[in-house]
Every structure is written in C-alpha cells, then in structure tokens.
Amino acid sequence: MTGSVAILGIVGLAVSQMLSLPAHPSSAVTPRGLLTQHFDDSAPNAAQVRRGQYLVAAGDCISCHLREGGEPFAGGLGLNTPFGTIYTSNITSDRDTGIGAWSSDQFYRAMHDGKGAHGEDLYPAFPYPWFRRVSREDDDAIFAYLMTLPAVNYTPPKNDLAFPLKFRTLVGAWNTLFLDSHDFQADPGQSAEWNRGAYLVNGLGHCGGCHTPKNSFGADKSKQELQGGKLDNWVAPDLTGNTRIGLGEWSVDDIAEFLASGRNAHAAAGGAMADVINYSTSFISDADRRAIAVYLKSQPASPSVAAAVPDAGAMRRGAEIYSDACASCHLDNGIGQSRLFPPLGKDAMLQQSDPTGLEHLILGGTRIGVSSSRPSPLGMPSFAWKLTDQEIADVSTFIRNSWGNQAAPVRAADVSELRKKLNLQTVRLTDNSGDR
Amino acid sequence: MLVGFGWTGAIMGQQLCDAGLSVVALERGPWRDTPTDFATGFAQDELRYMWRHHLFQNVSDDTLTIRNNVNQEALPMRRLGSFLLGTGVGSGGVHWNGQIWRFLPTDFLTKSHNEKRYGKKAVSAYDMTVQDWGITYDELEPHYDQFDKLCGTTGKAGNLQGKIQPGGNPFEGPRSNEYPNPPMLQTYGPTLFGKAAVELGRHPFPHPTGNMSQPYTNPLGAQMGACTYCGFCEKFGCGNYSKASPQTTVLPYLLQKSNFTLKTECEVLRVELTADRKRATGVTYVNSAGEEFFQPAEMVILSAYVLQNVRLLLLSGIGKPYDPKTGEGVVGKNYAYQTMSSVNVFFDDKLINPFIGAGALATVIDDFNGDNFDHGGLGFIGGAYIGGMITGGRPIEMIYTPQNTPAWGLEWKHAAAKNYLRSFSLSIHGSCMSARGNYLDLDPTYRDIHGRPMLRMTFDFTENDHKMSDYLTDRAAEVAKAMNPREIKLNRRTGSWSVTPYQTTHNTGGAIMGDNPKNSVVNKFLQSWDVPNVFSMGAGAFPQNAGYNPTATLAALAYMSADAIKSQYLKSPGPLVRG
C-alpha cells in the first residue's frame, strides 16, 4: 500500500485506526517507491547500493522504522515490549537526527554489536542479536543504500521504559548473558540453498525476533528456536515441522507463495506479518524465498502438547456464532475460499497453544499483506462491537476444535483482558456512522 | 486531475497511472473500504443504508432542484427519492446492484437507424431530440470486454464473434470473448420466469452480473470472493468482496502506484480556465475544514456523477448552456432517465424464498428491447428488458402485497405475512428518449453550502416513454400469467415523473457526446469541444438512454477515452477530433 491516500476529516476511532491504510501526504516518498527505485549504472557505487536496497527489504527495516503517517526510515514507531515502549530510530541520511553523520564502521558496530554512534548500548528491540550474523559486506551495502535516502529531520519520542532499564549499561550484562558470540557459520553438510535460507532466517530476516519464545529477560529461550512467540498482542506461530501448530503440512512452495503474496491455499498473512509481506518478503527474489522455505522445512518438529477437551456447551454456542458471523466468508465447515478467505480446518495459527492471536483477530480484525501481484488488502472486520467476550471465547473454542483442529478452550476472561489492552471496550461501527 | 472517484475515476486513474502520468484524484466524500465501512457484520442493515441513506449524498449540504417542465418553479429535493445520489470513494460503484449490460449495436444509432426503419416522424414525434452517438458498438466492444474482465462479469454469451450461442442473449451485439465467469445459480423465481418465457417463445438467459459466481482474480491482480446471495447489493456495500466495485477491482492496484494520489473529503468547486477560456489550468477545491486550494493540472477529467459533471461544466463556463426555447447550446441538453415499471407475481403453492437474492440475480428476456422487435404501428421507439429478478427480500422495502391491499394496518400485516415468501417481482427496465423540454441548467434561486447555484433538473417522461412502458408492461404480464400464479399486480409507469418513489439511479445526458460541436458537449473520446484538456466521463455522455443499466457503457466509454488519450493526446495535446 504505497500509493497515497489522504484522509481528512474525523479520524481516531479504534476500529478504523487499526485497519486504515497508511496515510501519507501526497508529496511523500512511499515505501514501495523507495524499495523499487531504480539505480542507474551511472550512479556512484550503483551495484552496492542496489544490493543494499535489496537487503533492506530482506531485513524488513521499514516495518519498524516507519510510524503511521511518517516518512519511511524516519522511525518513531513505538514498539510495545514487556518492559515498556521503545521508539524506533531515524535511519535516514539526515546528519542531525538520522545516521547521515555515521561512518560505515559505526554502522557495522550497530548491526554486529548493538552499539550506537558513541558506543552506547542499543536496546535489543533493535534485532542486532540476529543482525550480527550479517556479513560486513552486506552491512556496508545496506549503509551505502541508507545514505541515498532523502534526509528527514525528525527526532523520535523518548523511550518509555520501566525504571532500571532506563540505564543502558544493563544491556551490557544482557549481551554477556544472551548474545550469541558467533557470526554466521555455514553448515558444509547442507546445500547452498539451505545455508542461504539459514543466513536469511537467522540473520537479516530476524524471524526468531517474533517466532522464537522469549524468556523473562526478553531473550530467546534456548533450544526452542522458531517454536512460536508473542509480540504486541499477536502470536507469531510455530515455524517448525510440527504438523498441528507448525509448518509440517506446508510444502516449500506453500511457504514461498505465502512470503511472496501474503496468502496461499492454507493461510493469510494478517497481524504483524502483514507488514513483513508489505515491506519485505514480497520484494525479495523467488530464490531467496525458496531458500527460506527450504531452511524452515528442515526444522525439527516442536514437541506436541496435549490439549484439554472443550466443553460441549461452548462448542454448541460457538457453532451458532460461527454460522451467523463467520460462515459468509469462511463458508460452512470452515473450507474457506482459496487465497481469499483462509480455510480454518487443520490450521496452525488457530491451534497455537496461546489463543491471543485468534482473539485479537476477532476483536480487532486485520488486513492481509499485499504485493504487486496480489494487491488486494483483504480484511477481516472487527467483531469487538458485536460479540461479547463470552461469545468470542465460545466461537474461538469452536473453531479451535472443529474440522480437524484441536486446541485448548478459550476463556472469556482472557478475551476481556485483551479487549482492555486493545482499548476496544466501546466501539462505534465506523468514524462516519452517525446516520443523517 | 480526476474530479470524483467512482467507476470512471478509478478506470481513468488506473489507465493514466499506467501511462506514467502523475494522477491526483479529489473525492468530495469520505474514504470507504470493505472491512471498516460495510463489513459483513453490519452491511445488511436496511434501515441504516436504504432508508437513512448512509452511503448517499447529504442533501442538507447539496442537492438539486426539480420540476417537470419550464412552466413550473423548481424546488430543492430535500429528501432523496427517485434516484439515490452517491458520494464517497467508489460512490455509486459501491452501492449498485452489479447489473452489467452492453447496449445494442442499434442503440448507438438511435436517430439514423429508427429513421431508416420507421420514418422521420418516429424519431421526431413528441418533441424527441434523439441523436446518434458518433460511435459504433464495434468501436466500443473491446472496451466493454475490458470492463467485463475488470469486474469478472458473470453470464453466458449469446453472440460470440457473430455466432449465436445457446443459453445466452441472442439479440446482443457480437462479443469478442465469453464472460469471464459462469452465470450465477438461478433460484426458484427466476427459474419459473425462464420456463414461462420459453413457453411463450421468448429467449430467456441469465442476467449478466458483477456479483461473483465464483472467486475471481482480475487482470490487475485484484481478488473477489464468491457471492453469498445475501440480497443486499443496491444501496449497500458488499462485505464479502463479492461485488465488483472500484474498491474490489481497481483501488488495490492503484494504491501500489507511487504516481497516484487520492484525497478524500475534497470537493471541487470549479474548473479554472485561462483568460481565453480555451484551456483548463486546474481546479479549485475545498476540503472538509472549509479551506480552499488550487490544484494545477495539465488535464482535468470530470469523473464525478452525471449531475455533478454537468454542473461543473456550467459553473466553470465550459461549453454553451442549452436553451430549450431556441434549442441552441449544448450543456445540459438531452437529460434523460430510465422508464421503469414492474409486475408482481403471487403464488399460493410455491415458496420463492426471496431473501436468497443478489443485485443482478435474474433470468431475463431481451426480445422487446431496443429495436429487437418490429415497432411498426406501435407509436414508439425503444424498449426494455424484462427480468424475473430477485435482488433480495429486504423486509422493509421488498414485501409485495396484492392489488387493493391497504398500505398499513392489520390487513396489510396479514397480506405481508401471507405473501412475503410466495411472491416476487418482474422488472421492466425501459429506455428513455431525450426530448426538447428535458434538460439541466443552474438554478436561479437555490444555492449549496458553498454558495454555488444548485443544478436544476427539468424532466418528464415523454409520450414515447409511456407508450413503450405500457407495451412492455403488457409483455411482462404475459410472462407473469404463464407462470400460473394466484394473481399478479401491474405497477405501470403512469402520469408525470415523480421525484418521490425510488425508480432508479440511472440519470443520463446533459454532457452528451456526438460528431460535432453543434450537437454535443464532448467528442467521441469524451473530450470537451471547447476546452480540449477537459474530459467529461460518465452517462452524461449518453444522447438518450437505452433500455439497459448504464454502468458498463459508461465504463467502456472511459476506457475508449483513456486509449485515445494514451495513443494520441499525450503525443500531441489538443483536440482529438476536429470540430
């Protein structure tokens, strides 16, 4: 979504905020415009800059370094972490507020060691624990590309962190405890494609940033790589070979198609993954998407977890709600419409142990990621105004235990808590719902 | 510069962005999109959308004045009625039924064809001012085809490259391709209609629709889902992505374009011209905060609704206003409408279940449309399609009761309960020929919130229209009776046009196309004869209205205009046709 839509008038209601398309002033530089900008051979270090442009897409830099209504790469997006809100930095070429005065050495140090321009520790919300596996050559290319960006003079808000974490020196201790001391090591026993996939997934792609469960310090839980995580009230599903909650039922082609277009025969990329499609994986090459898929398909299945049997009453009530509220798109028996409205049977996302993602989807709705070949930002509407917490819990329980799905029942109290977090206690239908 | 963002704005935006132009669209109404503005959970709200006009123009801000003839004083339409004006992104393309028709080859030759077959008087009686369009069906066919592919039109071709096909409309002009999607499933009512029509020797076929019979991805990559037959299309947005609209078919593609900008809640007040009035320099618009801006432009494309396009031409002084007394001038001339009537059918023994419906769910016959039948001795030209149609069974609007049933009270309730599931309606969708006294101009008295004169509409049905409608209503009644119902009810179009009951939002003319500047506002590429960097889209270009829904034709005209702009105008900006 990089064409400009300027929406004047009243804005600011919860539902429309969540689903509105990014708005930019008509003169704005758009993410898609930047990521597809052509660099002529005559441009200085054109080959390096083009490579950097590609890597910036592979690293999904824009998803975080773009705030709503802001300029791409100028930062200012608040990342909600369990420790408080961290605002992303300005990485345009502006000398005062961006990284225009940095050297490539300084940039490499940030990417590799998590150090700022003056050697200060950066918070690991900036994914240097993954980026440290990126090669120096690639870092230099990224830096060269970022230096071509139009300078945007903008200072993001100050971080809003809980007391002790305000002291960046604590990050040093965190690094000692949790930072992988190794750069990327190719596995000679695996194919070049697998190794390329490993480099992307564990390096620039920083997939584990969301998809690996975190410990109480916000670091990856050891030996649980890509077994599913949680961020900002969304659940990032298990990406291992687990057939129920992971990618066990997906082929390499399925994964590649999903990354390219935000949709495939199994699922659609909503929530936070929509932006990954919008600003990252839809721009990388088919070869790289396949490499990622090959690597992910090699991940051993996470251990299976037994799920409690749902209450018959919840299942009955849930079936009725499904029929009234869901079946018009997802159809009877949850068969869905391929690549439009995902089928719901044997669905990994729906069966995640943590049902937050499903609850969030029903409460707030979502819009799926787009690409040039699949531009429709198909949306799931919000049902927060229509369904009670108990109804959302019942229909979630029903969906999680129908058509081959099996997962723990959902509790109304959890839906209630999430509703508060998302500030969806009272919602009007749309911002212009006042009938005349 | 696009003024208005409905169907023609979307089509021109896509075509001109692809040609590399920098395109800015200004839409007076709000941003609208499927999951936020008409999600499945609340889209089917008849009170809100149909009766409280949620998606329509707010007549307390802007309306038009109306009269039947020049001897009356026109008064503002203070509540929408006969037609429901759209606003907002997608506009009428959001709340249409998705009825996608091509006009007949002879419909583009209304004057010359009928004159040749029926004599001079046939086209000049009743003060008619019908004209030829200045284009042929064959010229337009590739562009109809483009629109079909954009929308994923469902249907069955009746004439493929000149070969008549079983199951389709044998009267239609030749199609280069079969419909992109198969017809919708016909429910019981339309099926009964089709059987009865066959018994009478008619040629029934499934109505072509922009409601999807199956999931569809169009050439721009935009995706639509299968229709659920919920029966809430006209006056409603579709929550299932199942109805072709600018939102479902074009916007996803356009929003990826860096050279496209859409600004909502920005209303264009007038087109600005150079001192010699031969060139537009841009437009003046006002935003929702009441601030005025000038937007410069190399080309101005009026892509608002018919009535707004004509008004902007008049307000901006582009072209000579029409004068019904002298017949001189062109802007506002040949305003026309659609002549609608219906026949309700009531059964005792058949459950029609009208709540299973869709905007264009119908079996239709075209035996009495255009010049598909001999008009000799009938005293009119034109015709209508007749459709056994179930657009829905919306409980407030669409409960049919037999003749002489009271409009309220216990007796009405009993009749409603008895007949709701066992009745439906045949729609007679008739042409409307232009006439000397039917036209649009600026009202001398009433002004909108911006202080601009309102548009004044002077219109009544002609005797030609009434004769046509009566004849066609009788033909529909024959089919209705052949279905062996308990009873039928004829709803004829009688008397003067009234602004109160809803008829249809198919307003046409006023900025008509033609082959020379004396008889038309725009040339065949919809380019102003007077200001060649101004183009006026839409059904305003129709010199008179045929017996079909106008959308596909106005969309095809937009594609044809875009083609001429890309292939000729951009290389050499100036008149595309010498006047």
Tell which CATH architecture fits domain A314-421: Orthogonal Bundle (1.10)
pLDDT at A15: 33
**Shortest Cα–Cα distance, A4 to chain B (Å):** 5
Averaged in consecutive runs of 10 residues, what is the pLDDT profile of chain B (579 residues)? 98 97 96 91 90 92 96 96 96 97 98 98 96 98 98 98 97 98 98 98 98 98 96 95 98 94 96 97 95 96 98 98 97 98 97 97 98 97 98 94 96 97 98 98 97 98 98 98 98 96 97 97 98 98 98 98 98 93
Asked if B32 and B89 count as a contact pair (C-beta separation under 8 A), the reply is: yes
Helices (H), B39-154: 46, 110-118, 120-124, 137-151
Q: Picking from A115-124, A137-146, A282-291, B90-99, which range would have the lowest pLDDT averaged per residue?
A: A115-124
**Shortest Cα–Cα distance, B94 to chain A (Å):** 16
With an 8 Å Cβ cutoff, are A376 and B58 in contact? no
- B60 inside 8 A of chain A by CB: yes
With an 8 Å Cβ cutoff, are A328 and B261 in contact? no
Task: Select from B254, B264, B265 the Cβ nearest to the Cβ of A3.
Answer: B254
Asked if A421 and A356 count as a contact pair (C-beta separation under 8 A), the reply is: no
Asked if A371 and B217 count as a contact pair (C-beta separation under 8 A), the reply is: no
CA distance B19 to A365: 36
Helix (H) or strand (E) holding B458: strand B453-458
Task: Select from A30, A367, A373 the Cβ nearest to the Cβ of B35.
Answer: A367
Contacts of A381 in chain B (CB under 8 A): 34-36, 39-41, 239
With an 8 Å Cβ cutoff, are B34 and A429 in contact? no
- B264 inside 8 A of chain A by CB: yes
Task: Select from B41, B42, B53 the Cβ nearest to the Cβ of A436.
Answer: B53
Domain boundaries, chain A: 47-178, 192-297, 314-421
CA atoms A173, A175, A180, A182: torsion sign: negative
Amino acid at B397: E
Position A163 confidence tier, pLDDT thresholds 50, 70, 90: confident
Tokens found for residue B460: 């009544």
Task: Select from A16, A340, A372 the Cβ nearest to the Cβ of B256.
Answer: A372
Residue B333 in any domain: the answer is yes
Position A28 confidence tier, pLDDT thresholds 50, 70, 90: low
CA distance B204 to B211: 19
Q: Picking from A91-100, A213-222, B80-89, which range would have the lowest pLDDT averaged per residue?
A: A213-222
**Shortest Cα–Cα distance, B223 to chain A (Å):** 6
Closest-CA residue of chain B to A328 = B228
Asked if B230 and B354 count as a contact pair (C-beta separation under 8 A), the reply is: no
Tokens 């000692």 label which residue?
A: A176
With an 8 Å Cβ cutoff, are B241 and A30 in contact? no
Residue B382 in any domain: the answer is yes
- List all residues of chain B from 194 to 253 with a beta carbon under 8 Å from chain A: 215, 220-226, 228, 230, 239-241, 248, 252-253
pLDDT at A3: 56
Asked if A33 and A2 count as a contact pair (C-beta separation under 8 A), the reply is: yes
- List all residues of chain B from 288 to 317 with a beta carbon under 8 Å from chain A: 288-289
Asked if A347 and A243 count as a contact pair (C-beta separation under 8 A), the reply is: no
Mean pLDDT over the full length of chain A: 89
- A122 inside 8 A of chain B by CB: no
Residue B272 in any domain: the answer is yes
pLDDT at A345: 96
Please list, in sequence order, all residues whose beta carbon lies within 8 angstroms of the beta carbon of residue B92, skipping any fewer than 6 positions away: B6, B7, B85, B86, B305, B505
Closest-CA residue of chain A to B60 = A436
CA B46 from chain centre, in angstroms, equals 22
With an 8 Å Cβ cutoff, are A375 and B256 in contact? yes
Tokens 């999430």 label which residue?
A: A418
* Per-residue pLDDT at A166 exceeds 80: no
Residue B576 in any domain: the answer is no
Tokens 């965190």 label which residue?
A: A174
Mutate to test the interface with B, among A279, A321, A378, A428 (most CBs of B within 10 A): A378
> Domain range for residue B560?
2-569
* Per-residue pLDDT at A21 exceeds 50: no
Question: A249-276 pLDDT, tens per residue?
Answer: 999 999 999 999 999 999 999 999 999 9
CA B204 from chain centre, in angstroms, equals 23
Average pLDDT for A163-173? 76
With an 8 Å Cβ cutoff, are B241 and A378 in contact? yes
* Per-residue pLDDT at A87 exceeds 90: yes
Name the domain count of chain B.
1
Question: How large is the angle between the packed helices B188-199 and B463-482, nearest 10 degrees?
Answer: 100
Q: Is B143 an active-site residue?
A: no
- B104 inside 8 A of chain A by CB: no
Contacts of A23 in chain B (CB under 8 A): none
Phi then psi dihedrals of residue B3, to 5 deg: -100, 100
Closest-CA residue of chain B to A387 = B41
pLDDT at A24: 34
pLDDT at B13: 98
CATH number of the domain within which B272 lies:
3.50.50.60
Phi then psi dihedrals of residue A78, to 5 deg: -85, 120
Task: Select from A5, A20, A328 the Cβ nearest to the Cβ of B40.
Answer: A328
With an 8 Å Cβ cutoff, are A9 and B39 in contact? no
Closest-CA residue of chain A to B262 = A5
- A165 inside 8 A of chain B by CB: no
CA distance A341 to A350: 14
- List all residues of chain A from 32 to 61 with a beta carbon under 8 Å from chain B: 32-33
- List all residues of chain B from 350 to 389 with a beta carbon under 8 Å from chain A: none
With an 8 Å Cβ cutoff, are B288 and A6 in contact? no
Task: Select from B36, B53, B256 the Cβ nearest to the Cβ of A15.
Answer: B36
- List all residues of chain A from 416 to 435 with a beta carbon under 8 Å from chain B: 429-430, 432-433, 435
pLDDT at A308: 86
Q: How many CB pairs under 8 A join A and B?
A: 138
With an 8 Å Cβ cutoff, are A436 and B225 in contact? no
Quickly list DSSP for B113-132: HHHHHH-HHHHHGGGB----
Residue B575 in any domain: the answer is no
- List all residues of chain A from 1 to 30 with a beta carbon under 8 Å from chain B: 1-9, 15-16, 19-21, 26, 30
Q: Is A413 helix (H, G, I), strand (E, B) or coil?
A: helix
CA distance B155 to A262: 31
* Per-residue pLDDT at A18 exceeds 60: no
Position A222 confidence tier, pLDDT thresholds 50, 70, 90: confident
Strands laid side by side in the B266-273 sheet: B266-273, B280-287, B292-296
Question: A410-434 pLDDT, tens per residue?
Answer: 999 999 999 999 999 866 555 544 4
C-alpha neighbours within 13 Å on the C-beta side of residue B398: 25
With an 8 Å Cβ cutoff, are A8 and B288 in contact? yes
Task: Select from A375, A432, A436 the Cβ nearest to the Cβ of B30.
Answer: A432
Tokens found for residue B233: 């299309």
Task: Select from B24, B36, B256 the Cβ nearest to the Cβ of A19.
Answer: B36
Position A4 confidence tier, pLDDT thresholds 50, 70, 90: low
Question: A321-367 pLDDT, tens per residue?
Answer: 999 999 999 999 999 999 999 999 999 999 999 999 999 999 999 99
In this structure, how many other beta carbons lie within 10 angstroms of the beta carbon of residue A164? Answer: 8
pLDDT at A27: 47
Position A19 confidence tier, pLDDT thresholds 50, 70, 90: very low
* Per-residue pLDDT at A25 exceeds 60: no
- B34 inside 8 A of chain A by CB: yes
- List all residues of chain A from 195 to 224 with a beta carbon under 8 Å from chain B: none
Q: How far apart are the first and last CA of chain B?
A: 25
Contacts of B79 in chain A (CB under 8 A): none
CA distance B88 to B94: 9
CA distance B238 to B35: 10
CA distance B507 to B85: 10
ipTM of the complex: 0.91
